[in-house]
Amino acid sequence: MTGAAGFIGSHTCVDLLTAGYRVIGVDDFSNSSPHAIERIREVVGPDVAGNLDFVELDVRDGAALGKLLGGGGRGGGPVYAVVHFAARKAVGESVRMPVEYYDTNVNATLRLIEAMREHGVRRLIFSSSCSVHGNADSLPIPEEAPARPTNPYARTKWICEQILSDLCVAEPDWRVIALRYFNPVGAHPSGLLGEDPRGIPNNVMPYLQQVAVGRLAELSVFGSDYPTPDGTGIRDYIHVVDLAEGHRAAMEHLDDQTGYRVYNLGTGTGTSVLQLVAAFSEAVGRPLPYRIVGRRPGDVAELVADPRRAAEELGWRTKRGLADMCRDAWEFQRRNPGGYDGVAG
């Protein structure tokens, strides 16, 4: 698992370990903390923690990857599949640093494919994003909707999807699933694992979490003039533990398919920014301060998944609602006000 210390990676690691998988996690900690690896071990408990190996590396380092895929981790044995999370993911930053985004997101995926091919590993789960769609023509968005990415970050995801699809045509023994995430939020219910971005959060939920612990003064709500019922942007927020379970469902489906397949992971329900602020305030027990400001460049009014393909083919559905997402995110932030590394407010 690449990006194992990240927000989605760490939760998926817990889910897979708990389900009996052995995991070799890798991360370069460029946007994550080594403490996340300790927390994974703490959440799963001592009996299972031994099934996690961890190696610090950059996925663009093909030689290091090859060594790992050849060695199979503690105890040896072949690697069954790779789950590839490691990537840069901030939209605004991608506009300022496109070359770094193409290098980290696209080059790393190519190095990974080469290393997998060299060592006979041909099952891959790839982290993609609903942002490949850009402005959707209609909602909810099914997988077949046209891809029209509107920023370099989303283009890196769409390029990787096309590389993987072409690979599966050329080399039919590959089995690849791309999962398009909608808006992952929430945290592990233990309060030990959650989202802990470096610097000022770009995304609404970690921003709200930091407002709630006093690290930030108030949320800026980006635009109240969208064509939505309350005028604020609507997204399909999905609990990160549901998302983690989606990866396990995909893993268990890999051998029932050949070639390349893409699945949306979302709830199918939209929530506006103001509804999210209200739900999070409810979880915290007091109203959180916010101010309406202008629209954020590049934002779209509404993104909601059509999650039916994943339900029909993977047998996966979300089980957790907005109140669960807010409760668990708050529990993590309350217990870790300064994040994993205890950053002062």
Q: How many residues bind ligand UFG (CB under 6 A)?
A: 19
CB of 5 to ligand UFG, least distance (A): 17
Q: Is residue 280 at the binding interface for ligand UFG, with CB under 6 A as the rule?
A: no
CB of 119 to ligand UFG, least distance (A): 30
- The dihedral through the CA atoms of 297, 138, 221, 96 has a sign that is negative
Distance separating alpha carbons of residues 201 and 214, to the nearest angstrom: 14
Joined tokens for residue 290: 């916010």
Q: Is residue 265 at the binding interface for ligand UFG, with CB under 6 A as the rule?
A: no
Nearer to ligand UFG by Cβ, of 49 and 159: the residue is 159
Distance separating alpha carbons of residues 236 and 270, to the nearest angstrom: 5
- Which residues participate in catalysis according to the annotation? 153
Q: Is residue 204 at the binding interface for ligand UFG, with CB under 6 A as the rule?
A: yes
Burial of residue 286 (CB within 10 Å: 0-12, 13-18, 19+) is: exposed
Q: Which of 22, 35, 41, 89 binds ligand UFG (CB under 6 A)?
A: 89
CB of 265 to ligand UFG, least distance (A): 12
Residue 342: other Cβ atoms inside 10 A: 10
Q: Is residue 129 at the binding interface for ligand UFG, with CB under 6 A as the rule?
A: yes
Which stretches does DSSP call E strand in 144-270? 175-181, 183-185, 219-222, 234-235, 237-239, 259-265
The reply to whether omega before 140 is within 30° of 0 (cis) is: yes
CB 185 within 8 A of CB 239: yes
Q: Which of 107, 165, 203, 257 binds ligand UFG (CB under 6 A)?
A: 203
- Candidates 9-17, 25-33, 66-74, 215-223: pick the segment binding ligand UFG (CB under 6 A): 215-223
Q: Is residue 22 at the binding interface for ligand UFG, with CB under 6 A as the rule?
A: no
Q: Which of 240, 208, 123 is nearest to 174 (CA)?
A: 123
Q: Is residue 91 at the binding interface for ligand UFG, with CB under 6 A as the rule?
A: yes
Q: Is residue 296 at the binding interface for ligand UFG, with CB under 6 A as the rule?
A: yes
Q: Which of 3, 25, 197, 233 binds ligand UFG (CB under 6 A)?
A: 233
- Chain positions contacting ligand UFG, by CB under 6 A: 89-91, 129, 131, 183, 202-204, 207, 219-222, 233, 235, 273, 296, 299
